[in-house]
Amino acid sequence: MTNQEPIPVIVNGAAGKMGREVIKAVAAAEDMTLFGAIDINPEIQGQDVGEVIGCGALEVPIMNDPQPILCAASQEKQPAVMVDFTHPKSVYENVRAAIAYGVRPVVGTTGLSSTQIDELAEFADKASIGCLIIPNFSIGMILLQQAAIQASKYFDHVEIIELHHNQKADAPSGTAIKTAEMLAEMGKTYNPPKVKETETLAGSRGGLADEGIRIHSVRLPGLLAHQEVIFGAPGQIYTLRHDTSDRTCYMPGVLLAIRQVIKLKSLVYGLEKII
């Protein structure tokens, strides 16, 4: 244990599937204090977040409006952090608001465009505020991406399949986009065509990312979060696959990001850059 004051943490999207895991992880972390809980549902406004998520009272009420809690956090001695697991529609404004109050965002919400990420980077830079945008907090996925980078040196053909539960709002997944970006940065174009392809059914060949990389999205009840990166070459297939079975797999990454973001002065995109 250090003598440092605990890091004040606000969780935005506190009652959601990820938000509730973050609340429990932060409440259990000795070097953090749960400072605030935000969620949009007016029916749970003012209720104790611990009672709402079923882990017992935590003495932190859920608030619908982020402004008062961000303002209060900005007065704290220790730099405060806002973890965002909300919705692709709201995440951009949430992050801007946090940075405006000097609160460091740790963003798990996916669906931000590359233009939005660039704008947020500029905003964070001007404010000299750390901000982490992390499409996937699980160590297994980071290892898969590193293995994919290695494989890309030897294979010229690759496609990505991501599979998720059918409550997911955005497609393709933020993880698939990031994986494709990492492969595209390897300085080559994949999947040189062997024939002229036509689609009898629009979308059959998936979405086309940079450098010829195809991404296919599957949405089904019964799935949680899964991704395959499939490399092909004459006579062989090399498949990388990651499966999640419980959202607790993301929590070590979320806690690491909270501890790291307060040391940064600009935006960083991807967990691989801070581990």
Ligand X SMILES: O=C(O)C1=N[C@H](C(=O)O)C[C@H](O)C1
Ligand Y SMILES: NC(=O)C1=CN([C@@H]2O[C@H](COP(=O)(O)OP(=O)(O)OC[C@H]3O[C@@H](n4cnc5c(N)ncnc54)[C@H](OP(=O)(O)O)[C@@H]3O)[C@@H](O)[C@H]2O)C=CC1
| Minimum separation from the CB atom of position 235 to ligand Y (A) | 36
Q: Which of 13, 36, 130, 212 binds ligand Y (CB under 6 A)?
A: 13
255 binds, among ligand X, ligand Y, none (CB under 5 to 8 A by kind): none
Q: Which of 7, 86, 130, 178 binds ligand Y (CB under 6 A)?
A: 86
Distance from C-alpha of 265 to C-alpha of 205, rounded to nearest angstrom: 41
| Residue 145 in contact with ligand Y, rule: CB under 6 A | no
| Residue 41 in contact with ligand Y, rule: CB under 6 A | yes
Distance from C-alpha of 235 to C-alpha of 220, rounded to nearest angstrom: 32
| Region from 70-78, 106-114, 146-154, 205-213 binding ligand Y, contact rule CB under 6 A | 106-114
Contacts of 14 (CB under 8 A, 6+ apart): 20, 22, 23, 37, 38, 39, 49, 52, 53, 62
For binding to ligand X (CB under 6 A), which residues are involved? 110, 135-136, 164, 168, 173-175, 225
> Over 4-71, what HEC string results?
CCCEEEEEECCCCHHHHHHHHHHHHCCCEEEEEEECCCHHHCCCEHHHHHCCCCCCCEEECCHHHHHH
| Structure token pair of residue 50 | 């611990």
| Residue 110 in contact with ligand Y, rule: CB under 6 A | yes
Residue type, 53: I
14: annotated binding-site residue?
yes
Please spell the DSSP secondary structure of 21-35, one letter per residue.
Answer: HHHHHHHH-TTEEEE
Contacts of 167 (CB under 8 A, 6+ apart): 17
39: annotated binding-site residue?
yes
Closest CB to ligand X among 13 and 174?
Answer: 174
| Structure token pair of residue 106 | 């740790």
Burial 140-163 (b: 16+ CB within 10 A, else e): ebbebbeebeebbeebebbbbbbb
Please report, as residue ranges, which positions from 233 to 262 form the binding site for ligand Y (by CB under 6 A).
250
Contact 95, 120 (CB under 8 A): yes
Active-site pick, 24, 87, 164, 273: 164
Closest CB to ligand X among 91 and 258?
Answer: 91
Distance of alpha carbon 48 from the chain centroid: 26
239: annotated binding-site residue?
no
175: annotated binding-site residue?
yes
109 binds, among ligand X, ligand Y, none (CB under 5 to 8 A by kind): ligand Y
Let me know if 265 is a catalytic residue.
no
| Minimum separation from the CB atom of position 71 to ligand Y (A) | 16
260 binds, among ligand X, ligand Y, none (CB under 5 to 8 A by kind): none
Let me know if 77 is a catalytic residue.
no
Closest CB to ligand Y among 134 and 163?
Answer: 134
Please report, as residue ranges, which positions from 154 to 173 form the binding site for ligand Y (by CB under 6 A).
168
Distance from C-alpha of 77 to C-alpha of 34, rounded to nearest angstrom: 15
Show binding-site residues for (S)-2,3,4,5-tetrahydrodipicolinate: 165, 174-175
Residues belonging to the active site: 164, 168
Give the residues lining the site for ligand Y (CB under 6 A): 12-13, 15-19, 38-41, 85-88, 90, 108-111, 134-137, 168, 250
